[in-house]
Amino acid sequence: MEPISVTALSFTEYAMSGQRGRISIVSEQRRIYLSSEQWVAGFYNPMRDAMRRAANSPDPAAELDKAVEAAHRQPRAGQPRAYEELREGFLPWLRSTRATGVPTSAAQWRTGDLALRVRPHLGLRMPDGSRAAVLVYVKETPMTQEAANIGLRILQQTMPDTLPGATPEVVPLVLDARRGRAFRMSRRTNLAKLDALIAAEAAGYVVHWRMSA
């Protein structure tokens, strides 16, 4: 049987959804991934593209404003408000980092029958020369540290591929863009327990995906 392939962020969202919401979220993700209509999967893509441009622009606000204005010109349900909230959360955070963008590459990380596609939405070079690989979470429900740790661990394990030439000092981040809050993994995190949790969540995801077929 072919492995199930979704993004690392989709899997992270599944892990934060709670027992009652998991079948629903997997059913929705399955509909999006298997849809032949590109717009179904592209709700947030223009804003994520604008965030990448903003990281390399002398006027990051202008890049985000363009995405918001486009959402208002051809509105889809909820999109203008979502984009406005993302701009208001992301822009102050980006300015606070004083970072510039760096290229990222794609990688795959597999556990059991689940293959996760990993590509940081942002690669950043900080003023001190250090770098960060960032997964950008854009949904309305706030991100939690527990769920962020799953995304952070997957980023951590794929760093040599997603940021070629990366050193151990590269920082993985999960950014809750609406709230401008970046999550890092605590040095006290028990990685063995976290890896066991990820393996268990991956097995559950596969079961829920196949049940929703």
Domain limits for position 92: 4-211
Query: What is the per-residue pLDDT across 111-138, written as a single tens digit (0 to 9) for each?
Result: 989 999 999 999 999 998 889 999 999 9
Q: Which tokens hold the place of 13?
A: 């969202």
pLDDT in tens, 43-74: 899 999 999 999 999 999 999 999 999 999 87
Give one word for 12, left, alpha or beta, with left for phi > 0 and alpha for psi -120 to 50. Answer: alpha
Q: How far is C-alpha 132 from the chain's CA centre?
A: 13
Buried b / exposed e over 73-89, threshold 16 CB at 10 Å, is: eeeeeebbebbebbbeb
What residues form DSSP beta bridges with 109? 116
Query: How many domains is the chain built from?
Result: 1
On whether the CB atoms of residues 115 and 108 are closer than 8 A, the answer is yes
Confidence (pLDDT) at 54: 97
Closest CA to 138 of 67, 30, 48, 41: 48
Q: Tell me the two tokens of residue 17.
A: 């959804």
Cβ neighbors of 202 (< 8 A, separation 6 or more) are 11, 111, 112, 113, 114
The confidence band for 194, taking pLDDT boundaries of 50, 70 and 90, is very high
pLDDT tens profile 147-183 = 999 999 999 999 889 987 656 577 899 999 999 999 9
